[in-house]
Amino acid sequence: MAELTFWTGTMDAGKSTLALQTNHNHAARGRIGRIFTTHDRGGEAMVTSRLGLVHDAIEVTADFDFWRYAVDALTHGARIDYFVCDEAQFFAPVQIDQLAKVVDELQIDVFCFGILTDFRTRLFPGSARLVELADKTEVLQVEALCWCGKRATHNARTEDGIMVTEGEVVVVGDVEVGAESAIPGGGPSGEAEVVAYEVLCRQHHRRGLTAARAKAVSLVAEPLPFG
């Protein structure tokens, strides 16, 4: 029986690498699939891994309909055994419903890969729907690490080097050093803001203590809230 599987982890946990490896493994056994993505850090209609792997993909726009795509393809004689969906956190909940229908009605396996929560520590709507509908939800075993060495559990966004917890949910960026994005006119004076991402443990995300800030301040434990 076909299944809907959701693989999740923080940024830098290897989700895109696993997505491409999953496609490779199934294709090597003669299965035929389709790869989908949206808002990939490398650009439109491609899946890119931080290890340097790149693969063409179908870009999922806001009005993309997975059910209609699958039915049209099958009606025209195509064979589809599986879907690989990267950056699935950015899919709309209705698109997750369509993927579940593809699994149940067409017996096509769907493998989704994405981040669970955004930089505000809130569930992405697409990820929340996947948790609700997926046959299996798997946490990637490769642990991304906070600057302190603990397991990273949260994704932090910085603007001009300062951690923020408010703003647009979808701003494409990366965790690599120097891999920054600019938001035109995002600053208070209309200048571009430089946006970057960093993975942190819960404690340092709660304190807003990024690696850069940790270097600039004395790492003293917070005082207890009494006495």
For the chain, give every domain's residue range.
4-139, 154-216
pLDDT per residue as tens digits for the range 3-43? 999 999 988 888 999 999 999 999 999 999 999 999 887 78
- Asked about 87 being catalytic, the answer comes back as yes
Where would I find the beta strands (DSSP E) of the chain? Answer: 4-8, 33-37, 46-48, 54-56, 58-59, 82-85, 109-114, 136-139, 154-159, 162-164, 181-183, 193-200
pLDDT per residue as tens digits for the range 100-110? 999 999 999 99
4-139: CATH number: 3.40.50.300
Q: What is the pLDDT of residue 144?
A: 85
Q: Catalytic residue among 3, 59, 87, 138, which?
A: 87
